[in-house]
Structure 1
Amino acid sequence: MPIKIVEKREKENNREYAYRLLRHNIMTLQLLPGTTLNEGELTDLLSISRTPIHEAILMLKEESLVDVYPQSGSRVSLIHIDILKEGYFLRSVIEPEIIRQLAGNVPGEKMESLKYNLDRQKEALRAEDKIDSFFKLDDKFHHLIYSAAGKDITWYAVKKVSSHYDRVRYLDAIMNQTDLEGILMEHKDIAHILLLGMTADFDLKHFYDRHLGTYRKHFQEILEEYPGYFHM
């Protein structure tokens, strides 16, 4: 089974570890859509018992990332176009409103965290695992915005719905060499708005639709290149 092993974190139990490892491999397409998940193989590979692996798979099923078939095993879910659209819709509605409310009113320590994240994004552009490193920091950047608004629970709810959207963004980055530097510049624009506020004529909705929708430019090509990854 093609899988990238990540180290177990301190105080992380086996179920949490198995869930995090499998989710990371699914989201980064190390485990491709449609890949069979063999619990016995995973038990040997991770050197943990079968129960936490099974529990982790059921957790991933709740996020529509794994399909579980009674008596016949599990597999990584195909990317559902309808779930992709829902994830994009949810983020495009919620995030601009959060930014609108926060603009010019973010506490200094929160702005420092955003600035530090932006510096790390710039460093990630030179990393060997550029795409993986950048998207982790991209996620953290947006999470920091929700956190600054006191909406961490909303963030986690949004991320569960956005799992298929995120997989397509990663696939687009691999296939089409997404302009990560352009995304970083847009993140800097967002940070500028959060620090200083917005001008009356700034079209936040248009800006955010463009920011979240970079994958759409090549989406038809992705569908034609990898039709077996998608559920229409």
Structure 2
Amino acid sequence: MTASRRVYQSLRQRIVEMRMLPRERIVERDIAEEFGTSRTPVHEAVLRLADEGLIEVVPRSGTFVARIPLDGLEQAMLVRDALETAIIEKAATRATPGCVDRLRAILAQQEAAIESGDLHAFHRTDELFHSTLAELSGYPGVWPIIAQAKIQVDRYRQLTLPLAGRMQEVLKQHRDVLDAVASGDPARAAQAMHEHLDRVLPVLEITRKLRPEFFTAQLGPR
């Protein structure tokens, strides 16, 4: 793995998991020292993250972790809902007992993350559950498209997980999705997935009021 890709992947994960917060200053020199590399691969990684809307480069001001664009969240969820409801119909027709057991094991990990209070582990098992459904559908190439489309949603969701009962609610929805897949009924599976995804954005207003400085109406200058 190149130094540029290593820096890119690490910074991207930190930003998505909100371990680097919106408006936090990015100092390329410090990052280069952390990774034991020159500033060139760091700069390349920063530019790539800027292209993805995760970093803002502001002339004569500096480089910052981007705020979350409110106007992009609904669009991202429209894309996600369309693709995930389509692939889960396929997954429901292909699911074997072994596939179902594999998904149940992932949800057991997610429950363990709730019990330990590990928000990042919860999010990672969430990603694993959905990506595994895409794999089982026979269309694994769809997941990278979904993952890229929902990158800003992932950041927003990190803020919702600490809300009282939120992780338990998501786990219950995942179990409903899994039960629908296990039933072998494509329509039921698609409906369960739609209902699950439809509950992502309603808590946005609560989250935005708690941390208004993390959001912006659109991508652009700070």
Give TM class, smaller chain. 0.7 to 0.9
Shift of 1:101: 2.3
- 1:3 equivalent in structure 2: none
- 1:43 equivalent in structure 2: 32
Query: SS state of the match for residue 94, structure 2?
Result: coil
The share of aligned pairs that are identical, in percent, is: 25
Matched, 1:161 2:127: no
Shift of 1:155: 1.0
Q: 2-side partners of 1:193 and 1:24: how far apart?
A: 31
Query: Per-residue CA shift, 1:126-166, capped at 9, x if unaligned?
Result: 224x2111110000110011111232332112111111111
Matched, 1:186 2:178: no
With over 3 angstroms needed to count, the CA separation of the structure-2 counterparts of 1:48 and 1:112, relative to structure 1, is farther
Alignment map for 1:86-105 (pairs within 5 Å): 86-105=75-94
Unaligned runs of 5+ in 1: 1-11
Q: Which AA in structure 2 matches 1:189?
A: D
With over 3 angstroms needed to count, the CA separation of the structure-2 counterparts of 1:193 and 1:203, relative to structure 1, is closer
Q: 2-side partners of 1:210 and 1:15: how far apart?
A: 39
With over 3 angstroms needed to count, the CA separation of the structure-2 counterparts of 1:178 and 1:48, relative to structure 1, is farther
Shift of 1:95: 0.7
Q: 2-side partners of 1:155 and 1:35: how far apart?
A: 29
Q: Which AA in structure 2 matches 1:197?
A: G
With over 3 angstroms needed to count, the CA separation of the structure-2 counterparts of 1:221 and 1:190, relative to structure 1, is closer
Matched, 1:226 2:211: yes
Q: Which AA in structure 2 matches 1:39?
A: E
- 2:113 equivalent in structure 1: 124
Shift of 1:92: 1.1
Matched, 1:211 2:196: yes
Unaligned runs of 5+ in 2: 218-222
| Pairs aligned (count) | 217
Alignment map for 1:57-96 (pairs within 5 Å): 57-69=46-58, 72-96=61-85
Alignment check: 8 A CA contact 1:103 1:196 kept: yes
Query: SS state of the match for residue 152, structure 1?
Result: coil
Q: 1-side partners of 2:165 and 2:8: how far apart?
A: 28
Shift of 1:72: 5.0
With over 3 angstroms needed to count, the CA separation of the structure-2 counterparts of 1:110 and 1:161, relative to structure 1, is same
Query: SS state of the match for residue 116, structure 2?
Result: coil
Query: SS state of the match for residue 141, structure 2?
Result: helix
1:149 to 125, 137, 157: 137
Q: Which AA in structure 2 matches 1:191?
A: L
Q: 2-side partners of 1:43 and 1:85: how far apart?
A: 36
Query: Per-residue CA shift, 1:161-182, capped at 9, x if unaligned?
Result: 11111111111113x2352122
Shift of 1:47: 2.1
Alignment check: 8 A CA contact 2:89 2:189 kept: no
The TM-score with structure 1 as length reference comes to 0.83
Shift of 1:99: 1.1
Query: SS state of the match for residue 35, structure 1?
Result: coil
Alignment check: 8 A CA contact 1:104 1:196 kept: no
1:170 to 144, 155, 158: 158
